[in-house]
């Protein structure tokens, strides 16, 4: 069905790197999600009412919440589709992330309320009435939610949308939760055990978990995440295809939502190739625009190759580092020409326990290096090394 809708409603459907195509996929997913969730909501609440099943009714209200989530997501996608202007130069794509926060909170609140209703059902249980209609609606729900999981998962990969990714996870949770309701209804009918309320709590737990997971993922996106490895490799492949560029550092992806981002990097080469380097930088920017539909900022750095000087400076730096800890490492060390100055650039990787000492360490290195020669300038990027917890017996 979704394949047919894609053919009917999405122009240039194969140009998945185009932000407009991404938005069309996201909007289509939301509209179909609204319709399918409303269908399941009406069916479950009706069957739950006549079969006296709190769990089935709770599952129906969960579908109503999902329909509301899809509606809010759809509105967010539409707002995100507006381009940049004088006020918001990079467009409105991040509005989708904000919408995702509200929808995640709404899912959490719905789960908490349903948990309370289910707890009340445990305290005062009513035996659900088993019927073929209840069995049928639950089986249909499992199949529909499984189908929704598949197309939302597929579309989330196409669009890079956190909302659709969270929706896919929610659909899987719903499918498993509905399976639990089906089991409770069947077991109650066969054994006469009052487990309906307990399964309602289980359904609520799935809803709460899905809400927390969705909220965590979108907050991670807002805080800033590492670039997709495949995309980063694609960018580096383009940059390093130009022989004048000997290395690339500080590659960053500035994500503004819905496939629009700005790439920045330092492209390094030798001063004797300065003209070729600037031509290459302009060509790389054009290549990135064509392939990823993004803007880019490329700074050209002139590398100074002097092994004797590098070794001498490294020795001085480690002398300072060892005063603080022997757990600090240096990476990406290079010397960059900057007019009359030489920039001593490197990454300093240190354990989390030294975070408060980072400024003191950097100042110590700066004094050691720059006091020797006023033309030296230190550019240090501190990186905290996160240690994994290992349990030993």
Tell me which CATH code domain 2-223 carries.
Answer: 1.20.1510.10
Quote the CA–CA distance of 172 and 115 in Å, as a whole number: 19
Overall residue count recorded for the chain in this entry? 393
**pLDDT by position in tens, the chain (length 393):** 777 888 777 887 777 767 677 778 888 888 898 999 999 889 888 888 777 777 677 778 878 878 887 887 787 777 776 766 677 777 777 777 887 787 778 778 877 887 887 888 788 776 656 677 778 888 898 899 899 989 888 888 887 776 777 778 778 777 877 777 777 777 777 887 777 778 778 778 877 887 888 788 888 878 877 777 888 888 999 998 999 999 999 898 888 876 678 999 999 999 999 999 999 999 999 999 988 888 899 999 999 988 999 999 999 999 999 999 999 999 999 999 988 999 999 999 999 899 999 999 999 999 999 988 889 999 999 988 865 433 333
Does the structural domain 229-300 have CATH classification 1.10.40.30? no
What radius of gyration, in Å, describes the C-alpha atoms of the chain?
A: 28
* CATH 3.30.70.1350 residue window(s) in the chain: 229-300, 307-385
Quote the CA–CA distance of 100 and 110 in Å, as a whole number: 15
* Class of 307-385 in CATH: alpha beta
pLDDT at 243: 93
* CATH 1.20.1510.10 residue window(s) in the chain: 2-223
């Amino acid at each position: 069905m979704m394949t047919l809708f894609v053919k009917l409603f999405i122009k240039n459907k194969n140009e998945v790197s185009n932000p407009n195509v991404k938005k069309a996929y996201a909007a289509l997913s939301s509209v179909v999600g609204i319709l399918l969730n409303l269908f399941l909501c009406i069916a479950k609440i009706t069957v739950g009412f006549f079969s006296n099943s709190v769990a089935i009714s709770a599952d129906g209200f969960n579908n109503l919440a999902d329909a509301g989530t899809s509606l809010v997501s759809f509105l967010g996608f539409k707002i995100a589709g507006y381009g940049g202007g004088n006020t918001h130069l990079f467009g409105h794509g991040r509005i989708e992330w904000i919408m995702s926060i509200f929808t995640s909170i709404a899912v959490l609140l719905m789960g908490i309320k349903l948990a309370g209703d289910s707890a009340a059902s445990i305290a005062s249980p009513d035996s659900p009435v088993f019927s073929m209609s209840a069995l049928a609606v639950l089986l249909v729900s499992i199949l529909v939610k499984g189908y929704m999981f598949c197309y939302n998962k597929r579309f989330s990969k196409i669009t890079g949308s956190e909302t659709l990714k969270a929706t896919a996870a929610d659909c899987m949770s719903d499918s498993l939760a509905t399976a639990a309701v089906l089991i409770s209804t069947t077991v109650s009918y066969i054994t006469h055990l009052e487990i309906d309320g307990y399964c309602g709590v289980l359904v609520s737990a799935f809803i709460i978990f899905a809400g927390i997971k969705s909220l965590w993922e979108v907050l991670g996106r807002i805080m800033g995440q590492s670039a997709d490895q495949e995309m980063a490799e694609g960018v580096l492949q383009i940059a390093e295809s130009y022989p004048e560029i000997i290395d690339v550092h500080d590659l960053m992806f500035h994500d503004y939502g819905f496939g629009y981002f700005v790439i920045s990097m330092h492209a390094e080469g030798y001063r004797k190739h300065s003209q070729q380097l600037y031509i290459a930088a302009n060509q790389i920017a054009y290549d990135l625009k064509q392939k990823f539909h993004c803007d880019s900022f490329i700074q050209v750095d002139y590398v100074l190759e002097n092994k004797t000087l590098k070794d001498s400076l490294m020795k001085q730096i480690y002398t300072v580092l060892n005063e603080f800890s022997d757990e600090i490492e240096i990476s990406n060390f290079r010397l960059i020409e900057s007019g009359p100055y030489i920039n001593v650039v490197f990454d300093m990787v240190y354990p989390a326990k030294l975070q408060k000492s980072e400024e003191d360490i950097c100042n110590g290195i700066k004094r050691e290096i720059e006091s020797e020669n006023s033309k030296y300038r230190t550019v240090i990027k501190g990186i905290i090394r996160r240690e994994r917890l290992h349990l030993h017996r």
